[in-house]
Structure 1
Amino acid sequence: MFYGHTFKKLQNLTPTPGFWRWMRIFIGICLGILMLGWTATVQQPVVLTMLMQGQDIANWRPFVREFESKNPDIRIDMVEGPFDTNLIEGLYTSAFLLGESPYDIINMDIVWVPKFAAAGWVMDLTNRISKEQLSKFIQGNVEGGLYQGRLYRIPHASDAGVLYYRSDLLKKIGAKPPETFQEMIEISQRLKKEEKIPWGYLWQGKQYEGVSAMFVEVLEGFGGFWVNSETLEVGLDRPQAIQAVEFLRNTITNSISPPGVTTYGEEETRLLFQNGSAVFLRNWPYVWRLVNQEGSKVRGKIAIKPMIHAAGYRGGSCLGGWGWGISKTSKHPEEAWRLIQYLTSEAIQKRLILNTGLVPSYKSLFTDPQVVAKYPHYPQLLSVVQQPALRPPLAQYAQASDILQRYLSAAFTGRMSAEQAMQAASGETRNLLGQIKKIQNSQLQTETKS
């Protein structure tokens, strides 16, 4: 009886106006909390991660921050890497081999493209950019971003081998800038004798990637080739390649180049040239600013020209340079592409060049009035980069380059003759490429069966 009576009392209870008011407030607070959580989730910006050399972060930071201000839905995490490009490549490779790379945007050196593309580490960008837009870039820079006819890298900076020379000394003896190797040797010998200049020609002979880049230019100048990337034919044991090695070796034995050149990289040769110790220097565009800075013994006495060659052939400059790609494992490829489009625009590149003195990848910027006013040698650089000598676009390029470096060093230091060294280099390179052919044939048979 008690329970029934109590139940009837509860049924007759009517909520008061105060109850409903507090209930509405409570429900409103709950909904507000839910909406705030949902809004925070929706408005959380996408974070893109990019690994860069320390010196490049300073160059690019203003433009990255500018992009962020115009694209509040995207944030960029710029991870500082080491100065050495080989170490940067190693970090990228390790990240990809371990699985999903933490990097969305890949800043690629020109020689990394075949390796990264063949491994399936970077996205195919071919259909993201028009042929009209690509035509505005230096052709060699675009070709350096291709692998098997597909585009994997958009260029943002050029680099190319340059021949520097002492314009004051050539004028003093009434000599024109050389067009051939023989003319350069003759001018060097005359100035060594008449003006007591210690050395004629400086080049990078140390056993590292720089010697491969330098040799590609001399090889081109003698009409030779390293590897035909389409047929995988090796040309290192042909007469032209042997002549190229002999020419370089003879600059040492004939005291045109110092004996220590076999241990020199870019900076060792640059410092010797900057101190007034040589007539000619093969190096990269960055040298111009340094040899013309205050305190340089050759300031205002330097000129540049495209690479020279043997009589009857053409010269070619080894192209370097950098460009942006997108990691295949990136979860935000569309946002990454928006950033790449921004950073590779002509307007941004012009401002970058004016701020840093880097070499453009757009043809028009080499002759832009504002750029030329600050860097008067850029029109000459255009003629340099438009005569390229590309390193072979092989997925196994690093191994092929290591083979060449070892045997060039053996020839330059007299441990092997030019012919012996190039025959050995050719043999090892053919073995390397033979393994590639086997893999390609195996993949082709698998595809045919399936």
Structure 2
Amino acid sequence: MMLNQHPYAEAIIARLPQFEELTGIKVNYSITPEENYFDKLTTALNARNGNPDVFMTGSYQLWEYAPADYIQELDSFLNDPSKTDSGYDINDIFKGILDGDRWDLVPGHAVGTGSLWALPLGFESNVLIYNKRALESIGAQPPKTFDELIEIGEKLNGWNGEGSYGVAVRGTRSWATIHPGYMSAFSMSGAKDFEIQDGKLVSKLDSPEAIEITKKFAELVKRAGPKDWTNYTWYQASSDLGAGKAAMAFDADIFAIFQGSEGASQEAGNLGTAPPPIVKEGQPVGANEWIWSIAMNQSSKKKDAAWLFMQYFTGKEHTLWGATQAKVFNPIRQSVWEDPDFLARISKFPGYYQTFRAVIDNTSIKFTPQPEFFNTTTEWAAALQDIVTGQADAESRMKQLAKDINERVSRIRVQ
């Protein structure tokens, strides 16, 4: 088993003795920091020697691994009553989360159809996390629209001394800059990344909607973001929120828990959560998501044992234990979000449960699956950097980006 260094992995490791005692299966594992994890995993899968049998993966990576025949489809196991426990209850997993691991392998087709390629362990919704002390300092409520986010964010520059600012968002030249706050706003604006036209995958990043929301996001960064935004990753955005440097963050909801828990940061106890600000009145509130899952190696020689492992660590019992006794946020199962002990635990984080309920029905993967995902989103992040730093205007740069991406995906076959 290969694990990425993460609280979800820590929860698995903590309960391996119970699993081994219950099943008689001995589990060997490796754990690797995320900066090296996917390179190591891809090398291992490419060897096609069956090692590892099971591995952690993000949903976006499935768009490369599944077409390459690296991973085992799971429906044949899930639908076999001799292999799947009757109490597993796949329908207890939120649909928008489970659908993120399902795809029909056709570039341009949305997630949610076709084979199931992995089982989710936990997920993050990209919402607004705010410092109550900061908003109170200017008599403001959490912004409900993107324009309000820009205006309030700008007012909060310097709110906590020199170097403090309004809104933390990611800015490195990486796919990970696009997928949190930016993609949530992008999708709510009605913009799309791709469409299938005349049997071809066509970038829509030059559409009026895409250009307009990119202008808005660039305005947010310029007026209310960190000065060294192009260096900002998940870590910097989260740390600034906890240190009282950022008044708000438009990023993963779990910032509120990992920075807001007692003793976790300087601003613990001062953080609240709200739905992502809508771009236009009347639009449904929604969020792009990140999902950590476990998948089975197509070349595994121990698939039945692997499937038992996957059931156990995504089942009701372990998910509830992880959410109440460990740090498995957010849990994937509806039953956990109704459990009194879990609800008592998250009640310490203002607005967390209410925000979750407000967005969960429209929390999903907003990107269009295609095997060039990491390359195209990295190019997208580079374009966003050019726009924010004033090297190009949004309209011309997004049109050039769409042209470049169309060239990159021109060889992708759409069935």
Query: Do both proteins adopt the same fold according to a TM-score greater than 0.5, normalized to the shorter chain?
Result: yes
Deviation at 1:116, TM superposition (A): 1.0
Task: Work out the CA distance in 1 between the residues paired with 2:189 and 2:136.
Answer: 28
Count, aligned residues: 386
Q: TM-score normalised to the size of structure 2?
A: 0.85
Establish whether residue 306 from structure 1 lines up as the match of residue 275 from structure 2.
Answer: yes
Deviation at 1:143, TM superposition (A): 1.4
Deviation at 1:111, TM superposition (A): 0.9
Letter in 2 for 1:283: D
Aligned to 1:294: 263
Aligned to 2:362: 387
Comparing 123-132 with 138-147, greater Cα deviation is found at: 123-132
Distance 1:329 1:296, change over 3 A: closer
SS of residue matched to 1:141: helix
CA RMSD of aligned residues (A): 2.6
Task: Work out the CA distance in 1 between the residues paired with 2:196 and 2:90.
Answer: 22
Letter in 2 for 1:310: V
Aligned residues of 2:123 and 2:290 also touching (Cα < 8 A): yes
Aligned to 2:229: 261
Task: Work out the CA distance in 2 between the residues paired with 1:201 and 1:180.
Answer: 14
Aligned to 1:94: 43
Aligned to 1:219: 186
Aligned residues of 1:162 and 1:307 also touching (Cα < 8 A): yes
Distance 1:234 1:345, change over 3 A: same
Letter in 2 for 1:69: E
Aligned residues of 2:127 and 2:273 also touching (Cα < 8 A): yes
SS of residue matched to 1:232: strand
Q: TM-score normalised to the size of structure 1?
A: 0.79
Aligned residues of 1:407 and 1:421 also touching (Cα < 8 A): yes
Establish whether residue 187 from structure 1 lines up as the match of residue 139 from structure 2.
Answer: no
Letter in 1 for 2:226: P
Aligned residues of 2:262 and 2:269 also touching (Cα < 8 A): no
Residues 123-168 of structure 1 show CA distances to partners (whole Å, capped at 9, x for unaligned) of 1112333699332112221111012111111111112212111234
State the identity %. Answer: 19
Comparing 388-397 with 318-327, greater Cα deviation is found at: 388-397
SS of residue matched to 1:80: strand
Distance 1:107 1:286, change over 3 A: same
Deviation at 1:292, TM superposition (A): 3.9
Aligned to 1:59: 11
Distance 1:273 1:363, change over 3 A: same
Structure 1 unaligned runs (5+)? 1-49, 442-450
Aligned residues of 1:206 and 1:265 also touching (Cα < 8 A): yes
Aligned to 1:127: 76
Q: Which of the two has greater helix per residue?
A: 1
Task: Work out the CA distance in 2 between the residues paired with 1:409 and 1:120.
Answer: 35
Deviation at 1:435, TM superposition (A): 0.5
Aligned to 2:64: 115
Aligned to 2:28: 77
Structure 2 unaligned runs (5+)? 80-85, 105-113
SS of residue matched to 2:60: helix
Letter in 1 for 2:395: E
Aligned residues of 2:160 and 2:244 also touching (Cα < 8 A): no
Deviation at 1:306, TM superposition (A): 1.9
Task: Work out the CA distance in 2 between the residues paired with 1:356 and 1:277.
Answer: 28
